[in-house]
Amino acid sequence: MNEVLQRRLTARREQSRYRSRRVLESAQGARLRVDGREMLQFCSNDYLGLANHPKLVAAMQGAVAEMGVGGGASHLVCGHSALHHQLEERLAKITGRERALLFSTGYMANLGTVTALLGKGDHILEDRLNHASLLDAGLLSGARFQRFQHNDMADLERRLQKLPVEGNRLIVVDAVFSMDGDMAPLAELAALAQKYDAWLMADDAHGFGVLGESGAGSAEFFGLDQQQLPVLMGTLGKGLGSFGAFVAGSDELIETLIQFARPYIYTTAMPPAVAAATIAGCDLLADESWRRRHLQDLIAYFRQRAESLNLPLMPSPTAIQPLLIGDEQTAMAISAQLEARGILVSAIRPPTVPVGSSRLRITLSASHSQADVDELLTVLSDVLAEVLGAVDC
């Protein structure tokens, strides 16, 4: 067994696709202590800088003192605490949906939702660049699974036109694509879903808390209500700085998930203290709305300066700002050189992204300053010149 596994690991290294873990020794923030070194980081999804916010910390500490640490059991046994219930009601209100349901992770939320809604004889159509959890969910659902070209509404419509009358139809997209940073055209998708009698589901992991006037996410950004976007998933460990995920929608949708979503039914509830911290994060969406404005200013500043430096920007209006490198070894070399100079930026390679599209995935946060962005761009410009110059030679 070990010999077989070792061959697979060796092949992964030779392809420049081997992944290694770092050891974080500090709280989340613009600057981290990683493997014993102080680093300026641009790789966290803590978009609003809430993961170490004093109000989240205090809320969690207070809840631990009152409720203890563990959830104890699944939500359907004796694990659904008053704090969980309060958070679900709060998330439903924020997103403008009738109800919301907590899941322990975004992966479980996507897997549970898709497999609860679809089965054999049904149809699921997904964007080719959807998150792995959505793709896995589609494959496991038993429904006929198709992938349409990225954000290509003509391709999607052609596929919808060819579907048989029988069976339910579900269109599934990332609202914000995690490796490209661009957004799905949700209004156009909603129109197609209505035209072809399909349901629409959006994974708003990278939009919830960040986009929209109140931070309600991509649905608010595009002005879509529950009828236009009936299945909305969001995560709590990114924009809200906490942990977990939720699905929001109609009362019938949530009751269906409670009855049929196996990852929900058979999983211990998240610790009540995590729910308490997340409620505090929800408060901050309104109380500290300056964080979203500051983040948007940083995105615009980064893109303006990156363009002036002729950096290989990808078209993204969000906090995810990838630089397209192409070759896997080159992307890894640039990331390593940045790390050597005290800046942490992840190199993203296949199979996470298509072959030939390896990139540096730069993520901005409200915890960053303009000076932090300047430091990144100064060092990045030098490193790119060195590494790409060496490759050209």
Catalytic residues: 178, 206, 238
CA angle 156, 158, 163 (to 5 degrees): 95
Q: Phi and psi dihedrals of 43, rounded to 5?
A: -140, 0
Contact 202, 231 (CB under 8 A): yes
Say how many C-beta atoms besides its own lie within 10 A of residue 372's C-beta. 19
**85, 90, 93 from 100: Cα distances, Å:** 9, 8, 9
Stretch (H or E) spanning 216: none
Report d(CA 301, CA 319) in Å as an integer. 12
Distance between CA 384 and CA 59 in Å, rounded? 43
CA distances from 295 to 285, 292, 302 (A): 13, 5, 10
d(CA 138, CA 317): 28
C-alpha span between 78 and 91 (Å, rounded): 22
SS3 assignment, position 286: helix
Q: How far apart are CA 314 and CA 156, in angstroms?
A: 23
Closest to 134 (Cα-Cα) out of 107, 169, 104, 170: 107
Backbone angles phi, psi at 353, to 5 degrees: -125, 160
Which contiguous run of DSSP H or E holds residue 168?
none
